[in-house]
Amino acid sequence: MGKKLVVTVGIMCLFMSLIPVNGAQGADAPYFFGLLLVGPYNDRGYSQAHFEGGKYIEKNVPNTKMIYIDKVNPADRPGITIPQLVDDMVEKGAKFIIANSDDMKDGIREAANMHPNVHFLHCSGDDVLTGKAPPNLSNLFGRMEYGKMMAGFAAAMATKTGKIGYLGPLINEETRRLAASCYLGAKYAWEKVLKKNPDDLKFKVTWIGFWFNIPGVTADPTQVAQNFFNTGYDVIVSGIDTTENVVVAGQKRKEGKSVWALPYDYEGACEGGADVCLGVPYFNWGPGYVQFIKASMSGKWKSQWLWLNPDWKDINNHDTSTIGFMTGHAMSDAARQALDAFIKDLGAEKVNLFKGPLFYQDGSVFIKDGAVAADKDIWYMKQLLKGMEGQSSSK
């Protein structure tokens, strides 16, 4: 997103259609907040989960009003920069602005420096950790590692061939640790619950190059999913923002193949795939969003980095849990019971899948025998893990 281009009349008109010019004024004026979405607001994935989080703010925090711009990525808005979009939001009255993608890190930091009286929340990112964040910028993310462990566990309980495919987006620290978490969940179910030979579990990651399909730029996730199913992989876990793995699994099921899929990001991502969808790990941004906007509105803002756990008392509580897992109709009763026990053990810390010994793909030590990974060890994961097939870097 580093290219410069004057904001087009079309973009300006879009903002002008969302809220009154210059925002409302006065004591009863809404507290405007902005939301920048990397994909479509209705993508049934990551961006829609954030959009629903914005709606949650409007519903639960009185006198708030959302301004949003979706498809904020180089393919859909070539040359448009994050600071340009933020400038327009601020002009329209936004006092609190959320950027929802790791790709927006540099742009949202630049915008925060340009607007010191506006509060910014970057979902993902580590500027607070590294000391690069100005005082008006915070980082928020959910510990989706747990959700991915649940997805991997469900995949291993379902597979008949022992071959699980992982449909990955681009390669970075976040996507490596999420793919690795999925593998660890699958490995645990395969070895500890099903008591099967570790050598018989195959877990392959294929990266498409971005969070969703961009024709001519990324690999086609539909084709990647078809390749998985056509080569004996009977479960595909998605790490991308859209639901191609569920769609292709449904097509293969109509052809008579026993295959399954687990999408990502959005609670409703299984809809339309009841026969094949084992479940979905999803983000619930509302509670975290509310915490930060209340701090912004009350004058109690502070720059912080939050990496929020599920609410282990009820991971699907929309008012308390940032991470959830919605089981699908295709999951067997036995697998559902085993998954429930696994989730309970994770929450009680009876099971810690980031306990050593763990090794990187190249055989080097990730976590020593008996040690438990620190947050930064997991956050800055350098490679995929030993036992996983796929690239650890894009180089």
Dig out the tokens for 57 from the structure: 């703010």
The CA–CA distances, whole Å, from 50 to 41, 72, 93, 172 equal 8, 13, 21, 21
Helix (H) or strand (E) holding 73: none
- Which pLDDT score, from 0 to 100, does residue 28 have? 77
CA 26 to chain centre: 37
CA distance 330 to 277: 5
Residue 235, C-beta contacts closer than 8 angstroms, at least 6 positions apart? 155, 158, 159, 163, 164, 165, 259, 260, 261, 262, 278
pLDDT in tens, the chain (395 residues): 333 333 333 343 344 334 443 444 455 789 999 999 999 999 999 999 999 999 999 999 999 999 999 999 988 999 999 999 999 999 999 999 999 999 999 999 999 999 999 999 999 999 999 999 999 999 999 999 999 999 999 999 999 999 999 999 999 999 999 999 999 999 999 999 999 999 999 999 999 999 999 999 999 999 999 999 999 999 999 999 999 999 999 999 999 999 999 999 999 999 999 999 999 999 999 999 999 999 999 999 999 999 999 999 999 999 999 999 999 999 999 999 999 999 999 999 999 999 999 999 999 999 999 999 999 999 999 999 999 999 999 87
CA distance 393 to 364: 16
**N-to-C CA span, the chain:** 20
Pick from 137, 172, 209, 107: which is nearest to 380 by CA?
172
- Which pLDDT score, from 0 to 100, does residue 330 have? 98
The CA–CA distances, whole Å, from 81 to 4, 36, 103, 197 equal 7, 11, 12, 51
Q: Which residue has the tokens 């619930």?
A: 284
CA distance 366 to 210: 26
Give per-residue burial for 24-46: e unless 16+ CB within 10 Å, then b.
eeeeeebbbbbbbbbbbbebbbb
Sign of CA dihedral 297, 110, 123, 139: negative
**Which domains, and CATH codes, for the chain?**
9-142+285-308 (3.40.50.2300), 145-282+328-389 (3.40.50.2300)
CA distance 281 to 343: 12
Kindly report the pTM of this predicted structure.
0.92
User: Alpha helices of the chain — where are they, by DSSP H?
Assistant: 9-18, 46-60, 82-91, 105-114, 127-130, 144-158, 173-188, 221-230, 244-254, 286-298, 333-347, 375-379
Helix count (H) and strand count (E) of the chain? 12, 15
